Amino acid sequence: MTATTSLESKTLRAALLIAGSLAFAGAAQAQYPEDPSRITIALPPPGAITPPLANDPIGARIDQTAGTDATKAATGSDAKASIVNEAMSEKPIIPSKAELPDAAFKKLDAGGKGYVSKEDVRELSGFDKSFELADTNKDGKLTPEEFKKAWANYTGRKTG
């Protein structure tokens, strides 16, 4: 082996060693960016966003009216405002007989007035008689205490 061949062999080995080292360094650099504090997150495309739940009447209605609201952009968002007002309304929710008196009172007193009126319970079938019996001061309103008595009479359960 001559000196020139030996020198060429060492040079070739050094070049291969450097090339291999650069390849490993490049792969590591691709996996771990220089500045980990600047992480970027790719957002999903607009069509990939999950639609509202099927059992959510307000969300479903907003989704259905989205196209009509876009055409009304110049006149304002009348449909969305009416949906929000409906959701925020003070309409009572009719409880079932299985509910406890406190939960039933909260549902019927949707506006947080502190009493339940005859208007609030008009859709509660058969509650009229219990309402009249429990309304001790005959003001047409049931306080929480009066409501507990009326609810016990209506459901047939004793108050606690």
The pLDDT score that the predictor gives to residue 135 is: 94
> Measuring CA to CA, which residue among 145, 146, 123 is closest to residue 134?
146
Estimate to the nearest angstrom the gap between the alpha carbon of 35 and the chain centroid: 35
Tell me the two tokens of residue 126: 């058969």
Distance between CA atoms of residues 33 and 82, nearest Å: 50
The pLDDT score that the predictor gives to residue 117 is: 93
Tell me the two tokens of residue 58: 């307000």
Could you state, in order of their start, the residue ranges of all structural domains in the chain?
52-87, 101-155
Q: pLDDT digit of tens for each residue in the chain (160 aa)?
A: 566 677 677 888 877 778 777 676 666 566 655 666 666 666 767 666 665 555 555 554 554 545 444 444 444 456 566 655 554 556 788 898 899 999 999 999 988 899 999 999 998 889 999 999 999 999 999 999 999 999 999 998 876 5
Tell me the two tokens of residue 158: 């004793």
Distance between CA atoms of residues 142 and 131, nearest Å: 8
Distance between CA atoms of residues 62 and 51, nearest Å: 11
For 50, 59, 104, 108, 150, the CA distances from 143, given in Å and listed in that order, are 44, 34, 13, 12, 10
Residues in the chain: 160
The pLDDT score that the predictor gives to residue 58 is: 54
DSSP E strand boundaries for 13-139:
116-117
Is there a contact between 96 and 107 (Cβ–Cβ < 8 Å)?
A: no
CATH of 101-155 among 1.10.238.10, 2.40.37.10, 3.60.21.10, 1.10.3720.10: 1.10.238.10
